[in-house]
Structure 1
Amino acid sequence: MTFELRHLATLDAVAEEGTFGRAAQRLGYTQSAVSQQIAALEKAVGGAVFDRPGGPKPVRLTPLGAVVLAHGRELLAGAARTAEAVERFNAGEGRVDIGTFQSVTNEILPPVVRRIRDEHPAADLRLFEEETDPPLSDGFDLLFFDGRIGGEVEQIKVIEDPYVLVARRGDFPDGPVPLEALHGAPMVAQPPICDQARVERVYAEAGVAPRIVFRTADNRGVISMVRAGMGVAVMPLLALDLRADNEILCTHELLPALSPREIYLAWHAGRTLSPLARRVLDITLEVTKDIAARWPLSAGGGSRGGHRG
């Protein structure tokens, strides 16, 4: 059998209205168009779907017509649900799984999530924080990572995150600190993965060997140990929240400065982003532009380096 949803919709309208003329008015068709669609449906199902008494008397469903209408209404209802779901999807509903890490979770994603919630209250956002090198992109619609990702992915750089030296007030004079001043200095650092490995190579290439006294993947743990006097730290600005420590801690520019770490947002190459995922990407670019605009103009620049966090 070959028939279309419009044939079933016409069958339903005629059955409810009782005449081809009233069904045509309801559907916005001509009466002849309604007759043609019913004829096409009857040809497809192999028999009459209406008894036509003629004159002003209403038409009535035949037994075959009742069967076709009962199942046809199920198809029409399913098509309506599908159309509604597609409309919601195109309007930004659905689910997006996002891979993230500490700095992005704490500084970038909160305003992104807030704006998505305001625009699309029914959106289903799932965040998964991981500390891996290389990144595990499988299972994510979008993935944040501090550095370019190899393999079959598309990616866009969302922000350059400058590095600063974090120390207790008085440990160094005000102003920039020479990189060689870190030689032999006690230092609290992240584990040597991701960009932390790069920053330690920068130290080595410059002949600088800090004395690592503690490693932790927790940004707050790094700051806590610096506050306690265990050592200094070199961290990107996104990893810092020194608002409660202004009287104890301060930041210094390093000379020569480490180049900023580059944070990318990636997705699988060749896969179409959903409207919701695309909106997350667009809002992320707006949020990171605002964040970068608030940073000191003097931060960043110099040779390569970085760490994840």
Structure 2
Amino acid sequence: MTKKWTADDVGDQSGRVAIVTGANSGLGYDTAAVLADKGAHVVLAVRNLDKGKEAVDRIKAASPNAVVTLQELDLSSLDSVGKAAEELRAAHPRIDLLINNAGVMYVPTRETTKDGFEMQFGTNHLGHFALTGLLLDRLTSVDGSRVVTVSSVGHRILARIHFDDPHLERKYNRVEAYGQSKLANLMFTYELQRRLKARGLPTEALAAHPGFSDTELMRYLPDFIPDFMWKIATQPADKGALPTLRAATDPTAHGGQYYGPDGIGEVKGNPKVVASSAQSRDEELQRRLWSLSEELTGVTFGV
């Protein structure tokens, strides 16, 4: 039987710089904690600095030699993204790992970011698109660097890119909005990987999803689903972080791969390479989304 991949398989990360968005709790926290324990200098890029400080303290309590720092980042504000990128560039001449983990899920009523974007599309996709573009030269200067973006099984559920109404102003459905944002995460990953490869750059783009994981994202689940049912269906956040960690650190992983749990329906389990929807692999749609994202954010990648 093939050995199951676990956090114990994460190799020595000494000398590497890893930026993890949304790292104060849930999947991001567990991802950051493992990377820090393995020797990486981990930057927790978070909106709430108080919660971020608590996360830093928890990581250092478990791993006294960990090197962990904080960066304020609100992905729902392009001004905040730009400021964070400027500060990160000043602090880190090289970046080995950028883990686009932060997100919001199933926001009950339509909300917008500070720039007027639909909240889930704006935070989950556009904020990370802009951050990646602004930091890309710090990544492409490093052999073996990776961009890992966290998607979801939700990319298959009522999901399409609403090119004619990306902010769902005409009709808002929270499941469609989430599906659009997670589909966009995958399309962005595949298009970025293709562009990096075409330029012969050393950075690779990969994606991951956590299955059903017990995190704060579950707070907006429909009321008719009892809490105990989700507790049974979900796996702990530290297990849900494994696909991200494998995409970020496994020497055998390569650009364009998508990692998720190996259990039935990819709900639970240990990480393996999984498939994504045919729609997510449509290169024409990927290019259209890329152009739209550049237009909306004002960020271009140079690749």
TM > 0.5: no
Q: Which has the higher strand share?
A: 1
TM-score w.r.t. the length of structure 1 is 0.30
TM-score w.r.t. the length of structure 2 is 0.30
